[in-house]
Structure 1
Amino acid sequence: MPASSTLASYRFGPFHLDVRAYRLRYHGRPVRLERRPMDLLLLLVERRGELVTRPDIVERLWEPGVFVDVETGVNTAIWKLRAALRDSADTRRYIETVPGKGYRFIADVEIDDAVTPSSFAPGSALTVTGDTDSDHSGRPAPPSPTVATESAAASSAAPSPSAGPARWWGRAPAVRHPALLVLVAVAISAAAYLGHQSVAPESVVLAVLPFESATDDPGQAYLAQGLGDETIASLSKIAPQRLTVVPKTTVMAYIRGGRTPASMARDLGVDFLVEGEVAGEDGIIRMTSRLLEADTQSQVWSASFRRERSSLRALHRDVSVAIADHVRVSVGVDRLTALDRRQTQNPEAYETYLRARYFENQRNRASTARAVQYYEQAITLDPAYALAWAGLSFTLAASAINSDTDPQQVRERARIAAENAINVNPDLAEAQFAFGYVQWLLEWNWRAAEVALRRAIALDSSHVTAHRTLGHVLSQMGAHADAERSMAHTRARDPFSPMTHALSAQVAFQARDLAAARQHARRATLVDSQFWIGHMQLAQAYVHAGETGLALESLADAARFSGGENSKTMAFRGYLMGRLGRTVEAEEALRALAEASTTRYVPPSATALVHAGMGNTTAVFEWLERAFTARDVNLIFLPSDAVWDPYRRDERFALLLTRCGFLTNAR
């Protein structure tokens, strides 16, 4: 029943959906629901019993031309809607998932009444229940304060629809899917590890949900993501001994898996959820932040912040301090000073930095180029902007291994950017990390990399990427036990990161622990079934365990999910075909790599790998020499990767390791 033809009032179970009032009630009490989850509910109820595809949802919830990360945007809206409807992960009563397609509203629906469209004006106050000047209780915000807040006590006159776990969620669902069972076990053990290692008994644990954009202006999309990420960063640093923030990757894994906030509270010990909604208009940024009890989703606090763009840079800090205050965590002056020093005093440079982060997080060739441009613009606006220098350095360096960028084109720029970041602010963890990353990947000075990465971790113990990069550095230096300890710490802090599990697989593989390599790679694919690096690591473990059939299956998945033109999957397939004696197919891989190299940079080590599988020793060393001349970043795997074991007794191989400096770096 299209909303354009009639505006009905629907009833299903204990819920009443009043379209005219744009309101959902549960047993007569209002249910707090943001605009996009509400619009999604309307769409599903209108088309009850029908398949509603993910493209249908994107078309309904976002204006044409608006960039949306479909996985994040749709999954988050579905997750919030299911939470509001108390829809169990095991027994869906309202929203059914149609795997690979979309969703279907399956509950019986009664139509209460109908009204004419003229009584409901789109764009009126009724359409903006999620407006950032409201606390969602129906009361208007104060006229024009800088910050309007409402505590739990102040809102007691209008009771929360979530009076307690039994009424809000019903019985906690059991975990029945084997893959999810494994991951939840990992998460629980991670929580126990963290509790034993670094979290004080009285520590408060927060999970920050993806911030929503309250506007469909595609030019504003970076604000919600940027301010959300900066809020996570600020909360992580504001009182690390008293306040623990669940990594974003873990939160997103729970959302993708359809797990409830209550399950997050139970599995990870999360006390509170943080939500945010951001809009920018006429030079004013408005942001609503809400603090909810994780197990019941009852609102503890809500605040609406208004800032001119000229003072935007302090917004995430102010929100973080307010949240800390409401969970009774005191913030020292030294911490506030450190937070202020992280950021530029130039408001235009800060916004440009947020744009750079937005494009960096999209992780493809085109977006990486945009990110570099914005980082450089931010630096032009403020040459003393250490975070921008660090971001530029990491983005340039990482592109050499993530996007097959020619390392000679980025090496010097990345190194200079990292050095500038440290010169401006040597106490910035991101600056030390960027320097360590460049020393590891591009400069091949692993001892310097280890020192810088340990310094970054000392400055910010929650810097997950620094922990796992250190694990790789130690592994390639031959310190396998230390490397595994570093990776174990990383997995404990970020148990649902597919990259963390995939890189743990590589570290285990380099230690010749094939069982652990397979286990970690498998977990990476359980977290994200389309994460090509996880499938690639799984194929690698299967090959060296002699399970070629499974290796071929995993390699096919890796190629499919990476887009099919990835030099790493192309080369590894050629390597495997060579090992199996399927020379024609190995030669096809060589031709494909040669053809690709006519239009873009292809690492010479990729061709060397195929020849290694075919046993062409002369060609192997010819292409490894080309790789050395090109500063091919994949050479960092030479000291410890089992692929190269057949060549370790060859004097040419030992000489190459010496020329690269890898033997000097060994521990």
Structure 2
Amino acid sequence: MQSAQCSGRTLRFGFFEVDLRASELRKHGIRIKVQEQPFHILTLLLERSGDIVTREELRQKLWPAHTFVDFDRSLNKAMTKLRAALADSPESPRYIETLHRRGYRFLAPITPIREDPAESHANFNHAALERAAASLENDQSQDHPKTGFLLSHPRPPATWTWFSLLLGTSTVLVCLTALFLLRVNHSIALGSSFGNLNPRRSVAVLGFRNLSGDSQEAWLSTALSDWLTTELSAGEQLRTIPSESVARMKIELSLPNVDSLGAASLSRIRKNLGTDLVVVGSYAILGEQSHGQIRLDLQLQDTQSGETVDAISETGTESRLFDLVSRAGEHLRDKLGIRAVTREEAAALAVALPSNTEAARLYSEGLAKLRVFDALAAHDLLLKSVAKESNYALSHAALATAWGQLGYDENAKAEAKKAFDLSANLSRAERLLVEGRYRETAREWGKAIEIYRALSEFFPD
């Protein structure tokens, strides 16, 4: 970007505005909290929009000479905080592209805002009035110098009026006919591709509020949400919304974990995720006297009608957490008219979850960090998780994602390979996703395309 573009006080890109003088980032006019170093990185990237800003340049700007700091770790941490503020993904960036071992590049178009909006609006109105007055005086003096009246536009002959009407009517009929034929052909094409496509009902598990307020128990929200999503997906009778999509939606809509949602919030979620149903609720640790029992309260809500379809309360222990989730899932299935999980599906579900409670906690905490683009913290937690339980495929898959976001491609490839080797007993959808990720990291693009094509064919809805 030309330096002149940064001479304005405020720059706009996407839904964001950056006030360079006040050092503020705003989204839809609302201030977004950003720490000093992430904001400085954003400023440097905006100044060089479209160009590569190297890691060395960032080091020189952010950490003066003789400053002793773990530069790589500090820069990665600042960058993940900036991406979290922008709700940007390193893997599918809208704003900041990572160039492995080189640096970063700002991608989005930037519009400078050079004036205060109120002042600009006033100036525009004043200038517009002056131009209109001058134009009016000019027209009056030329068309009717004596009377000062404006001449009306001459009316077309009657024959031209009828011709225009017939032409317009014919054009509309042709367009409607073409649209009808296009829709018929489109329906035939869909029918030949997918047969009688009958979309499954969709459900999104949005997370659960931690009533205990103890941060040590916050991981349970991620664990309970992911495990319930896995349980409901068994048998492929429901279309479950991926947890990553739910996390993105919650960032975009600034939606916290809540016990229940109103009709307006449900409508916004439906538009964002395209889901028919949502599951929300809360959990509480019942205290030492209850021997570590957990109470899980759920509500199943319809995003179209805004009604609560069902309310469930289940109690279990942390050591048998999946039993608690299974009972809740069984209740939801019964309410939705979905058949129960078979013995074979139950066995597959057990394999799809960590068997070690500490590994499950670390894995869930790592996923939560990944979903807010804090790859550095996620990496540390997931390393500990795979150390606790080395044969859990999805921990390796998540660690591969963290390595990739940090720019360590070979490490990402190695972890993705481990996940693929351990994925035989996962569900069909998870197995294909794990293999697709591995083929990508190995740059086996043809095989990756085949995997993702198979996913779309198995699940066309």
After TM superposition, the score normalised by the length of structure 1 is 0.34
TM-score (norm 2): 0.47
Kindly name which structure, 1 or 2, has the bigger radius of gyration based on alpha carbons: 2
